[in-house]
Amino acid sequence: MKNVFPSPHPLVAHKLGILRSADTDPQSFRELVREIAALMTYEATADLMTKSITVNTPLAPAPGVELQENIGLVPILRAGLGMVEGVWELVPNAQVWHIGLYRDERTLKPVEYYNKLPVEPTVSVTLILDPMLATGGSAVATIDILKRWGVKKIKFVGILGAPEGIQQMQEKHPEVPIHLAVIDDHLNENGFIVPGLGDAGDRQFGTG
């Protein structure tokens, strides 16, 4: 699948196994979401633009590089919130712009309830953060919002993706790369990813 990047990394796969387990408590679940988000960020930012600089070591000048891009994180509330801290560990200066969407349980369509983006874009690249790409409705709606805002470079960084959601993304926004820890098997009749991990929002916030 073009523009879809399941993680090849054994650390991600190992942590994902613990994350999935029904025995993992909310505290451990939150830690794992943060750690996996950091590892996923390492993979998703491999093509960021840099510029050459010179740094002075205690001995001599050395060639170095500096990030040229202004990075924005867009966690989709609620479940995406838990990924922010992990990404910040690697990109501490990233701006965070929250988008609130929930999925209507009956229609499975996203409903927007929070968006305080300023009029003009303030970043050159955005990473959309959401552990779950199920039908893809929330991710597609968020990309619609970011494109209207004017951001040119958008990436989706998630943990689990269903084939249905990936297909929806590729139909609506084929140029947006999708970084996932893993692609799962299918969606069930309630729109839950199977085998999945349950509800990522409820499991992080202890509301299940």
The footprint of ligand PRP (CB under 6 A) covers 76-79, 102-103, 108, 110, 130, 132-139, 165, 191, 199-201
Whichever of 139 and 145 has its CB closer to ligand PRP, that residue is: 139
Q: Cα torsion for 121, 6, 93, 81, to the nearest 10°?
A: 80
Transcribe 45-79 into DSSP letters: TTT--EEEEEEE-SSSEEEEEEE---EEEEEEETT
Whichever of 109 and 152 has its CB closer to ligand PRP, that residue is: 109
Whichever of 36 and 200 has its CB closer to ligand PRP, that residue is: 200
Minimal distance in Å, beta carbon 20 to ligand PRP? 15
Which residues sit opposite 61 in a β-bridge?
Answer: 56
Whichever of 6 and 191 has its CB closer to ligand PRP, that residue is: 191
Residue 169 to residue 186: CA distance in whole angstroms = 15
Helix axes 163-172 and 137-149, enclosed angle (nearest 10): 30
Minimal distance in Å, beta carbon 174 to ligand PRP? 17
Helix axes 26-44 and 10-20, enclosed angle (nearest 10): 150
SS3 category, 101: strand
- Whether 203 is catalytic is no
Identify the active-site residue in 50, 107, 185, 207: 107
- Whether 103 is catalytic is yes
Question: Cα 159 to the chain's mean position, in Å?
Answer: 7
- Whether 45 is catalytic is no
Ranked by CB distance to ligand PRP, the top (closest) residue is 201
- Whether 130 is catalytic is no
Minimal distance in Å, beta carbon 126 to ligand PRP? 16
Helix axes 81-90 and 26-44, enclosed angle (nearest 10): 50
Minimal distance in Å, beta carbon 163 to ligand PRP? 12
As annotated, the active-site residues are: 103, 107, 199, 202
